[in-house]
Structure 1
Amino acid sequence: MDLLLFTVMPAALIGTALWRIPAAIHSGRAARSLCLTTGLLGLSLLCTNPAISGPIHHMVPNLPVLLRHLLTLASATYLLDYLDAVHADDARSRLRPGLPLLAASAAAMTAIFFLLLPRGATPKADDVITQHLGEIRTDLYMAITYAYLGLAMISGTRTFWHNRRSVPRGLARTGTTLLAAGCATGALYTAWRLIVMTLAHIGAPETPAIHQVGDILALITLVLIATGLTLPPLRTFARYCRDQRNLWRIHPLWADIAEQFPHLVLGERPRSRARELFTLGDRTIDVSHAAFTVRDGFLSLAPWAAPDATRAATVGADAMSEALWAKAALTRKAGNDNPAVPDIVLQDQQLRGPTAEIRWAAQVATYYSKATS
């Protein structure tokens, strides 16, 4: 469990935030806030990793506690800022803590932490809270933390739940639902912690079960929110991998057609196969351009085809014959042979959508690569 909470989840969240950086730079406020939400939450969890918190605690006693709380509140603030950017016309999204309240809360927490809380070194950073729970100075610090976090979680629950049906079905809606559930559990966690803090303040006896319930609620909250934040990027990453795979398959045929018919190239000219493979960003348009170039190249190759050569009329009907037909025609074109007919023949050419066009180009290019290897 410690490996999941202290290493895997922070790594997944920080990796997701790094993946979102280009969109955060070039897109609007929503993408920027979502990137900050994910990254700050990952850093907050990283502060609980003993390998990270230990050296910080050794240099400045108990500082990892303050850093974790401030990063958590900042993450919740930017999550709500993302909600406000996406659903600006929703009154629920305006009932939320914003950056001014975050700044005021952070300043108050920092002042209490350094001026009022005990400064002596403790075996673990969290001991500065657990060992002094029930004292006014500790209760004041934690009351600010839980009040701010509770308000953010309640606002997030209402907005995510209200707007989940407007999100398209799939991973995006699943992620939104998980975020709503995570915020709801987070609100329950803050309420529970306030109850525990009140019981400690009035001197009620503590039992391990009380703290275990809080730990379980915190873990469920983190897992739900972290999963909700990382699911939509997984869909984007899966689409990127699919596009890169199709582009890798199409590339040999695409490059040869582009060399013979430069005027047919849509977008940028083909680069080396390796450079195309390691190009980051959305490749949906690039792979579509490659498939359309192959399609137009087949039409332009008709005059160089052998007189008795025929092409398959349906998608995937005979990809091998299509590939051999293209190889023979490209060889004649590269050898400067005169075209067999003066005009391009548009016989038996079927109209296909982008998805079918990419699938057809990938199938034919696979056999073309085998024929030319």
Structure 2
Amino acid sequence: MNTVKHTVLALLWAVTLWRLPAAARVPRQRALWTAFASIAAACTLGDPGVVDSVDRLAGVHNLSTLGKNLLGIVGSAAILDFVVAIARPRSLPRARRALTALATVSMTAMTVLFALTPRPLEVSDFYQANVGSLSGTAYCMVFTGCLGIAMTVATWLFWGYSRHAGAAWLRTGLRLLGAGTALGACYSLLRTVLMLLGFLRPHIIGTTATTVADAVENAAISLIVVGSSLPAVGVLWRSVRDWRALRRIQPLWAELTSAVPDIVLDARSHLTPRVRLHRTVIEIRDAVLVLSSYVPEHIRRQAERTARLSGVQGERRAALAEAIWLRTACAAKLNGADVVRDSERRTTPSAGMALDFDAEVARLLILSEAYHSPAARTHSKEHM
């Protein structure tokens, strides 16, 4: 087994082990895990050392080839089950019945044809050794036909569903999965053509064609591995981003909620970074709305004048002005001041908040920085 195949095999087992906990918890993840486990086991059965051990222990020449191909059928059916579940969930029960029937018929036919194929010696390439053989060619036709059907349908579903995926990571992952299954269909077609040509002209097929077929197979598996992992990487990256944003706006949240602690929701220790960030943003918004009732209009105008004189522009100027009057409002609330009369304060409408969550997080990051800036601290000290 060459370096490329060893690398692909290592990736397959790594993804299989990585996805095992999710498969145990989430039923809809089990089809994808089954696909990777089957393909990984099939590739392992292709290792020369494993082949020799399996065939010698069983006492059946090239039994490992049959095992590898049967696992390939299971893996391709599982991939198709997975994509139907996400792209056509209503069709899943009917699709599973069809997949079960196709896989059962194909695997039974392959087992029978394998038994009928003469195998007087152990060979390194079962297909090449049986070029021109009727039963060997039929065995290959059944395997590549079943694989080709599954890969073609999966390609159509992956690419169709990718157009409706919202997240860029998911969309790219689905397209890579579609590219991988498309190469899988090409591999099936190539193997079929090679075996048919070999049956008609036994001496026309050489080792180069087999090498090309193996390269297409490895490329298909690699794209499927990368495509299936990319959405998970995207989720992980978003979690890291959310956690970093949460840490950066936490000081602002702590300052505001110390003045209005009653707006804080219950414990959040077991929540995901995304949900914690959502709750923190909501609580900051609520705190701002409450504290705005403690700021008369002339304080806001004074804050805006200070922000203008500071030299900052755009969003940072607006954030600095808001930070300054928020500091004043926090101090007033903590000192037991009463809310100002409606005629003396400016309304802080919720419509002013960014409707886009990511945009609102970005705004609060700027506000948190402004709240703890020297300009805001200095103004608070001078006007308290």
> Do residues 238 (structure 1) and 237 (structure 2) align?
yes
Take 1:22 and 1:319, find their aligned partners in 2: how far apart are those partners? Answer: 47
Task: Give the structure with the higher percent helix.
Answer: 2
C-alpha displacement of 1:359? 1.7
Give the % identical residues.
23
Aligned residues: CA RMSD: 4.6
The correspondence for 1:294, drawn from 284, 290, 302, is: 284
Q: SS at the partner of 2:290?
A: helix
Q: Any unmatched runs of 5+ in structure 2?
A: 56-61, 308-313, 378-384
Take 2:31 and 2:336, find their aligned partners in 1: how far apart are those partners? Answer: 60
The correspondence for 2:124, drawn from 114, 127, 134, is: 127
Deviations 1:16-58 (A, max 9, x none): x458649844xxxxxx16x5236623652465369x9577557
Deviations 1:263-314 (A, max 9, x none): 3235x4354xxx7xxx55xx44432221121122123234667998545698
The correspondence for 2:180, drawn from 174, 179, 182, is: 182
Q: SS at the partner of 2:353?
A: coil
Residues 160 and 296 of structure 1: is their aligned pair in 2 closer, same or farther, counting only changes over 3 Å? Answer: closer
Letter in 1 for 2:365: A
User: Which structure has the bigger radius of gyration?
Assistant: 2
Q: Which moved more, 1:236-245 or 1:95-104?
A: 95-104
The correspondence for 2:35, drawn from 34, 40, 45, is: 40
Equivalent pairs counted in the alignment come to 347
Q: SS at the partner of 2:192?
A: helix
**Alignment-derived partner of residue 213 in structure 2:** 214
Residues 327 and 138 of structure 1: is their aligned pair in 2 closer, same or farther, counting only changes over 3 Å? Answer: farther
C-alpha displacement of 1:252? 3.1
C-alpha displacement of 1:237? 3.2
Residues 94 and 48 of structure 1: is their aligned pair in 2 closer, same or farther, counting only changes over 3 Å? Answer: closer
Q: Which moved more, 1:286-295 or 1:93-102?
A: 93-102
The correspondence for 2:353, drawn from 351, 370, 373, is: 351
Take 1:19 and 1:357, find their aligned partners in 2: how far apart are those partners? Answer: 34
Aligned positions of 1:43-192 closer than 5 A: 44-45=39-40, 48=43, 57=51, 60-61=54-55, 65-66=65-66, 68-85=68-85, 86-87=87-88, 97-106=98-107, 109=110, 127=124, 129=126, 132-134=129-131, 138-139=136-137, 141-161=139-159, 165-167=163-165, 170-192=168-190
TM-score, normalised by the number of residues in structure 2? 0.68
Residues 339 and 87 of structure 1: is their aligned pair in 2 closer, same or farther, counting only changes over 3 Å? Answer: same
C-alpha displacement of 1:192? 1.6
Take 1:22 and 1:302, find their aligned partners in 2: how far apart are those partners? Answer: 49
Residues 366 and 103 of structure 1: is their aligned pair in 2 closer, same or farther, counting only changes over 3 Å? Answer: farther
Residues 249 and 168 of structure 1: is their aligned pair in 2 closer, same or farther, counting only changes over 3 Å? Answer: closer
Take 1:22 and 1:363, find their aligned partners in 2: how far apart are those partners? Answer: 42
Take 1:339 and 1:115, find their aligned partners in 2: how far apart are those partners? Answer: 94
Deviations 1:291-344 (A, max 9, x none): 1211221232346679985456985425456556545654665xx521253679
Take 2:142 and 2:100, find their aligned partners in 1: how far apart are those partners? Answer: 15
C-alpha displacement of 1:346? 5.1
The correspondence for 1:337, drawn from 335, 338, 359, is: 335
Take 1:20 and 1:330, find their aligned partners in 2: how far apart are those partners? Answer: 45
Question: Does structure 1 retain, via aligned residues, the 8 Å contact 2:38–2:74?
Answer: no
Residues 201 and 38 of structure 1: is their aligned pair in 2 closer, same or farther, counting only changes over 3 Å? Answer: same
Q: SS at the partner of 2:267?
A: coil
Take 1:250 and 1:232, find their aligned partners in 2: how far apart are those partners? Answer: 27
Take 2:187 and 2:168, find their aligned partners in 1: how far apart are those partners? Answer: 28
Residues 13 and 362 of structure 1: is their aligned pair in 2 closer, same or farther, counting only changes over 3 Å? Answer: farther
**Alignment-derived partner of residue 28 in structure 1:** none
TM-score, normalised by the number of residues in structure 1? 0.69
Take 2:100 and 2:258, find their aligned partners in 1: how far apart are those partners? Answer: 55
Question: Does structure 2 retain, via aligned residues, the 8 Å contact 1:37–1:78?
Answer: yes
Letter in 2 for 1:74: V
Q: Which moved more, 1:305-314 or 1:4-13?
A: 305-314
C-alpha displacement of 1:173? 4.1
Take 1:96 and 1:161, find their aligned partners in 2: how far apart are those partners? Answer: 23
Letter in 1 for 2:243: Q
Letter in 2 for 1:98: L
Q: Which moved more, 1:235-244 or 1:304-313?
A: 304-313
C-alpha displacement of 1:139? 4.4
